[in-house]
Amino acid sequence: IIFWLCLFLVISLPILLSLRRGQASVSYAQSLVGAPETHLTTLDNGLRVASEETGHATCTVGLWISVGSRYESEKNNGAGFFLEHMAFKGTKKRPQTALEQQVESMGAHLSAYTSREHTAYYMKTLAKDLPKAVELLSEVVQSCSLNEAEIEQQRGVVLRELEEVESNLQDVCLDLLHATAFQGTPLSQSVLGPSKNARTLTRQDLVDYINSHYKATRMVLTAAGGVNHEELVGLAKSHFSGLSFEYEGDAIPLLSPCRFTGSEIRMRDDALPLAHVAIAVEGASAASPDIVPLMVANSIIGSFDLTYGGGKHLSSRLARLAVEEKLCHSFQAFHSSYSDTGLLGIHFVADKHYIEDMMHWSQNAWMNLCTTVTESDVARGKNALKASLVGQLNGTTPICDDIGRHILNYGRRIPLAEWDARIDAVTPKMVRDICSKYIYDKCPAVAAVGPVEQLPDYNRMRSAMYWLSITIILCSLHSIYECIYNFILMHH
């Protein structure tokens, strides 16, 4: 009996497992169509409430606000970042100790971040604690105590953070890139602000900042996970219906246009072991129809780090060159998009002896996008971009962040199925045309930190954008001529 039972299991188990896999397997397209819907409701005061129910036992809920360092002046630059530190130091109802105990007793995680155009306060907690989480968030945003003694204490914390950020050369380099690319405009300001402002910001400065920008029409209450949309709307009405939507004297703060300037900034320090260099041209805004082809183009260039496996077999041409010629320690193609402009660029970390070569091949990669990008390049870029978009949404917190930013940028949540369709519609000709529009013969912005003596002269980098494209076109014509010549020879 045991023998026949074992024989039956050996024969039937693979069949049963294959059937189970067949039932459980879902294609990529089916998974996109079956993604949970994002529900959106607008309250009477203009506050938008958005949620995605995923059935998780946990949830993330938060407020995303359309305000950041771009809305600040030279005098109060850094106010938003300072407020981020003050947010969890007590409210008018709860002192800091009581607030922290309440969050700890829920086993929750309370956090915040500030960027150039957005600010977010959010909490990850068990789904059953959603009502308490919304209540605490409403207190943090609407009735922060802003105690004078606590402001002085946090002033020291902010100054220490500013010192720590100076050791992160990538952040320093990208901040310098914004400073030179958008010089003379609010978008040039860093999120953290200068140390001078951290020392001089007063309680009244923070109160004025809240009164000017924390309006219901510029906020989105977002939740993802085990949440019910109707319950979330009810909680929003209970805790945020009194949130102001009016501006004093109807003085609605409007963003001034940010002008891009082709220019460079260098911070030379030969004592540093490696150079951080970033080169960028003006990119597309978040809502521009050009954004998807540019995202595909960035995926074609890709990224590289010395820790990557694959070596010279990496799919990105620039990555293969980086390995074979030992051009750099790492590089990353990026596209920072804002409400009306953007930065399309490449950041790399290299030894001082390879800066010039890496800059040449980075610009060459751009010119290839404008002139010789192929069907296989675009197919690879599309697949990499799709994988990146899906991979980013690996939990309730990134989903919640995605919903909040989308509604502030686009007025709605763009589903993955729509992103997928827009990516599929990109063709090689579209990539070439749109990259030529943004890259070809444009003056770049360049920022460099470290031992950057070997960085080429700015005018040389600027003219290289033009001459590289001419060279690539001539090489392409030469290849076409050779093909025609060989074809004629074969037929004679």
Which of the residues 52, 53, 72, 84 is marked catalytic? 84
Is the CB of residue 440 less than 8 Å from the CB of residue 309?
Answer: no
- Catalytic, 84? Answer yes
Return the active site residues: 84
